[in-house]
Structure 1
């Protein structure tokens, strides 16, 4: 139950981070930037489109990466878009959107930190990964000559290009999400999530 709770909190933090990224107006991570752009093109709300598209990717995960599926997969697929929308509406109601770059950058940095904490807490308990995250893991397994880094990077680049050509916002936030989240996620793995999971192990002992 502790691992499930950590995963649930991770998805909440991840959705919050995505909403802060969007509020900063400097570009979201590649996948969410694509989801937001395509949802505008087809006229379906972002949260609903995110769930529909992710269910499509889930079919691939079900066929080629079934061992990556867990409760975390379901929660992320069906609810992350709604969590992000919920928090974005709160920020939009309470705060004035940052205008100049000097005010947008600190907001984006907060988004990076919270997203990283969310990713760490959602993935580290090992109770299932999202369909999009599983794509890189599946590619890494099926294409042993290509490292996970390049599998992930190729997927993110494709998403960023789709977002750009669909009229979405691709900016400095997208670049930082692609290259900057990893080290911060690793920091939270060691100093936050792993300690929470170790507490679980000690309780079991």
Structure 2
């Protein structure tokens, strides 16, 4: 209890606020990808597909899965746990659902291919901005994101890129087998966000936090 109180007292309010805002934008981005009908990031796509199969809402299923992943993170990667872990694990699904319902009511589902592609492009920018804020705040890693980081520690000879590729590819496969959508949005989420996140890191987030850029320019990123 004393360690928890010490952690809470030591939290930088500015970083905490930036992390929360980042998760809001990330949830918004996930909802935009879903609206496009062209696939989501591998993990979110898998959760959505499994939630549909189990007749449980996406947000509730995400929490159930995150509980399991959190146990793994607690046992093998406790240093990655922080306030951001819980905000992401508990609230992200509800944030995404909230915005998705708004888009459906206001815009409806895009029908033309060009409209879907533009929707994906908007999702890329919004997600990238959210990830930049969420990751750069350094106040905890989401349970799923922690998996590849833990694997990197356990198997240091293999680069983080391949650990992340493995977890994302597994999620994409499960999504496909569960009847989910694996498409342009999935590929862009897995491979195309890196440079845009790096742009936001350099030109906005790290200036806001007063830190140097730490994200690689390219490759799979955490969502």
User: Shared fold by TM > 0.5?
Assistant: yes
Aligned-partner Cα distance in 1 for 2:33–2:124? 7
Instruction: Tell me the distance in 2 between the aligned counterparts of 1:94 and 1:115.
Output: 20
Distance 1:47 1:73 in 2: 16
What aligned pairs does 1:17-28 form with structure 2 within 5 A after superposition? 17-28=29-40
- Gaps of at least 5 residues in structure 1 are 200-205
CA distance in 2, matches of 1:197, 1:60: 30
Q: 2:94 aligns with which of 76, 82, 86?
A: 82
Find the residue that maps to 2:182 and give its secondary structure: coil
Matched residue SS, 2:15: helix
- The 5-angstrom pairing of residues 1-205 of structure 1 reads 1-198=13-210
2:214 equivalent in structure 1: none
4+ runs deviating over 3 angstroms? none
Distance in 1 of aligned mates of 2:196 and 2:152: 22
In 2, Cα distance between the equivalents of 1:191 and 1:66? 31
Q: State the Cα RMSD in Å.
A: 0.9
CA distance in 2, matches of 1:131, 1:82: 17
Deviation for aligned residue 1:172 = 0.9
Partner SS, residue 133 of structure 1: helix
Determine the C-alpha separation between the residues in 2 that align with 1:73 and 1:154. 21
Deviation at 1:96, TM superposition (A): 2.2
Alpha-carbon offset, residue 49 of structure 1: 0.3
Higher fraction of helix: 1
Aligned residues: 199
Cα offset, 1:31, TM superposition: 0.1
More relative contact order, 1 or 2 (CA 8 Å, 6+ apart): 1
CA distance in 1, matches of 2:144, 2:108: 32
Deviation string, structure 1 residues 11-65 (Cα, Å, up to 9, x no partner): 0000000000000110000000000000011110000001110111000100111
Structure 2: runs of 5+ lacking an equivalent: 1-12, 212-223
In structure 1, how many angstroms separate the alpha carbons of the residues matched to 2:99 and 2:45?
Answer: 17
